[in-house]
Structure 1
Amino acid sequence: MKAIKAWLLLIIFMVPVLVYAQSGITHPDGSYRNTTPKDFKAKNLSSAFYNELWTYHINLDNGVQVIYTFSINDFGSFKSRVTGVKLSVSWTDGKTYVVNKEYGPETFINEPDSMYIRPHPDRTYWAKGKLDDEHRLFFYNIKKGVQYDLDLTLFDIAPGKTIGNGVYKAGDNEIGMALLIPHAKVKGFVAINGDTLNVTGSAYMDHIYQNNLSTKVIDRSYRVKTGDAQNGMYFHYITLSRDGNSHIPIGFGIRYKQGRDYLITPSSIERVSSHPDEKLLDEYIKVKPYQTDMLNIRVDEYFNTYSILDEIGGIKKFFAKKALGGELFEMNGTVTINGNQPGYFYYMVAD
């Protein structure tokens, strides 16, 4: 019986590897494992076009969503390498408030042992705290007449996961991924223009990097979370663009059943329909992981679409879009999975 189980496990893990090999996509080297502080460390690789992101997505019990991202970005001849931070808050008034700040790479702080990240030592936006204890997010800034104030603590943090070295390759493109916080509880406060809310909720955080522009690498990026670390799920799946293999997704996720975690890797993603108010948003997708039944994911509430190029505008936006090979749109909100499981999403679409 043990021998049969061993063979079944081998087959389950070998199927996605064979599919990736046939498509020209290289799967991460190594097995499913817990993350370590090294997985939080900035790669900061040398590349003409480079993106590295630490993304926190927080869904609060009062309906507010927060997306807090630290980044390293290189835009080739269009713009030299910068580090930065972006805060997006989908607020109680139905509006989404977004603030971006950029700095030179020489001021960037990234200390894996304490999970400390900060784009500039004199600026009031940072994250810090070991993931086996508590991890704090802080942000304060006033931009374009809007005051942002955030102090949140992540606790009861589920162990982070990755696969081997975490690196997927498709041709010359390289994408690294680690799900550092698959699930955490959240407490603290968020304020917009002095309207302060004491909040609770849940969150995840992942760390990804790629050696090319998102508009050159991805077609779609899907982050979906539901439930908790007892019975729940979080995944980040990506479909690749313009390489003949866009029907084969990469990435991975974690499914929790009675407190145990299981790897879920994507077999296929079918885009069934678009949102009536936002054509770029996949309102209904069918996701088939190798290890579970079909996931029917429908957008329940759509909050916002954001593009960094919207902040440029005019003729500068035209030239920026041309230099970058397109535009990357970010969308967030809530979903329902298989008709009865509430969750939340953060999608990216290259266009």
Structure 2
Amino acid sequence: MISRSTKLFSANSNQLKKLGIFILFTLALLQFELRAQNNIEFPEKRFQNTDSEDFLAKNLPSKYYNELWTYHVKLENGVQIINTFSINDFGAFKDRVTGVKLMVSWTDGNTYVVNKQYDPGDLINIADSTYLRLRHDRPYWAKGNFDDEHTINFQNTNDGVRYDLNLTFFEISQGKKLGDGVYKMEDNEIGMQLLIPHAKVKGYVAINGDTLQAKGVGYMDHIYQNNLSTELIDRSYRIKKGDAENGMYMHFITLKNNETEPPIGYGIRYQNGRHSMITPSSIEKVSSEDNLDSEVMIYTDQASTLKVNVQEHYNTYSLLSELGRVQRFFAKRVTGGELLEMNGTVEIDGEKPGYFYYMVAKD
């Protein structure tokens, strides 16, 4: 794999023994409760088409709500672009906001990242035109029907870096969801729709005036959850290869404190132009380094096993890295940790090219 870039106290022996027994009992009870809370109610295993209504924001009331529309593009020259629209609530730490984040793994070997946040009252989201915009006067938007063409747009200058992007998804494969797409774990739930499992991409992307005419492929999924990712998710694996003739796209998630239930999520496999569903039964981490799962074995309910090896690791990013030391300390206490985002290229069962976007919850 190639990587780019105390407090002292005194007590008598009996008191210590009692304290030790209490701690062990408490930890055992906590572990039991965590396992019990992770009994998963899976959606009905009926693979069905998504429509424009699945593009609409859920924006559900919850103290720690978050919702993501994630676009990931791989260009023929190796450049990767991840453009994410979001709704996020961090409880007492921060009021609910909408956001947009652009990550560009560029030709110079660097990954450029910019974040913007707005008042959720300004959000524009229309099903008929599949339109999403954070504010009417800001150039961050997505628009266009999935049965024709769908475009994302972003212009901004941040920390001396000028970003200019306009990418159109076309020849879009039919989106899919599994039942209603909602997984429930006690009071928690995660919803998922694979709205663009595959599309060709055209347009342009520029960093500081260096403009590339874009030619590549991409996907987009819509996911929401009513609790923090650091509380629910252990790993998130988005993996894509090939096209709508022969290829696949999958988004699988392993949950925290969950040793008996299978991962959640699903994918679409294309063979000779025909699609079929992929669902995970288990994911084995064969090797990891610096929080990146460099090799995993994905076992599926469809009796196939996928061996995924990271070839190039472009970037690891954490939103908390943009905060000052004091802010980062309090943010980690409130959110229970941080979420690392990683992207790059993979091979699947010895075949390439493929590409990935992983998320890892770190305490």
What is the TM-score normalised by the length of structure 2? Answer: 0.88
8 Å Cα contact 2:39/2:261 also seen in 1: no
Aligned residue in 1 for 2:314: 303
Whole-Å separation in 2 of the counterparts to 1:246 and 1:58: 34
Matches within 5 A, 1:277-292: 279-292=290-303
Q: CA deviation at 1:269?
A: 0.2
Aligned residue in 2 for 1:109: 124
Aligned residue in 1 for 2:96: 81
- Structure with bigger gyration radius: 2
Aligned residue in 2 for 1:10: none
- 1:74 partner letter: D
Whole-Å separation in 1 of the counterparts to 2:92 and 2:297: 39
Taking a change above 3 Å as real, the CA distance of residues 173 and 246 of structure 1, as seen in their structure-2 partners, is farther
Matches within 5 A, 1:201-280: 201-242=216-257, 244-245=258-259, 248-275=262-289, 279-280=290-291
Whole-Å separation in 2 of the counterparts to 1:193 and 1:135: 25
Whole-Å separation in 1 of the counterparts to 2:266 and 2:135: 32
Q: CA deviation at 1:131?
A: 0.2
8 Å Cα contact 1:107/1:121 also seen in 2: yes
2:327 paired residue among 299, 316, 323: 316
Aligned residue in 1 for 2:13: none
8 Å Cα contact 1:240/1:246 also seen in 2: no
1:337 paired residue among 323, 341, 348: 348
Whole-Å separation in 2 of the counterparts to 1:113 and 1:265: 30
Structure 2 residue runs of 5 or longer lacking an equivalent are: 1-35
1:32 paired residue among 38, 47, 53: 47
Whole-Å separation in 2 of the counterparts to 1:337 and 1:164: 27
2:168 paired residue among 136, 153, 160: 153
Q: CA deviation at 1:79?
A: 0.4
8 Å Cα contact 2:156/2:162 also seen in 1: yes
2:75 paired residue among 57, 60, 63: 60
8 Å Cα contact 1:32/1:161 also seen in 2: yes
Whole-Å separation in 1 of the counterparts to 2:350 and 2:112: 30
RMSD of aligned Cα (Å) = 1.4
Per-residue CA distance 1:1-56 (angstroms, 9 max, x = gap)? xxxxxxxxxxxxxxxxxxxx9x7210114611000111111000000000000000
Aligned residue in 1 for 2:29: none
2:105 paired residue among 90, 98, 104: 90
1:178 aligns with 2:193: yes
- 1:184 partner letter: A
Whole-Å separation in 2 of the counterparts to 1:293 and 1:93: 38
Classify the secondary structure of the residue corresponding to 1:77: helix
8 Å Cα contact 2:40/2:261 also seen in 1: no
Q: CA deviation at 1:170?
A: 1.5
Whole-Å separation in 2 of the counterparts to 1:246 and 1:90: 37
Whole-Å separation in 2 of the counterparts to 1:320 and 1:119: 24
Q: Runs of 4+ in structure 1 displaced over 6 angstroms?
A: none
Aligned residue in 1 for 2:19: none
8 Å Cα contact 1:239/1:247 also seen in 2: no
Taking a change above 3 Å as real, the CA distance of residues 110 and 246 of structure 1, as seen in their structure-2 partners, is farther
Q: CA deviation at 1:247?
A: 6.1
Aligned residue in 2 for 1:12: none
8 Å Cα contact 1:189/1:198 also seen in 2: yes
Structure 1 residue runs of 5 or longer lacking an equivalent are: 1-20
Whole-Å separation in 2 of the counterparts to 1:310 and 1:225: 27
Whole-Å separation in 2 of the counterparts to 1:209 and 1:181: 16
Whole-Å separation in 1 of the counterparts to 2:207 and 2:155: 10
- 2:199 partner letter: A
Aligned residue in 2 for 1:47: 62
8 Å Cα contact 2:279/2:302 also seen in 1: yes
8 Å Cα contact 1:247/1:269 also seen in 2: no
- 1:260 partner letter: R
Aligned residue in 1 for 2:30: none
Q: CA deviation at 1:248?
A: 2.2
- 1:84 partner letter: G
Q: CA deviation at 1:137?
A: 1.0
Per-residue CA distance 1:104-139 (angstroms, 9 max, x = gap)? 111011111111111111001111000000001111
8 Å Cα contact 1:29/1:167 also seen in 2: no
Taking a change above 3 Å as real, the CA distance of residues 30 and 265 of structure 1, as seen in their structure-2 partners, is closer
Whole-Å separation in 2 of the counterparts to 1:200 and 1:89: 15
Classify the secondary structure of the residue corresponding to 2:291: strand
Taking a change above 3 Å as real, the CA distance of residues 340 and 30 of structure 1, as seen in their structure-2 partners, is closer
1:135 paired residue among 141, 150, 153: 150
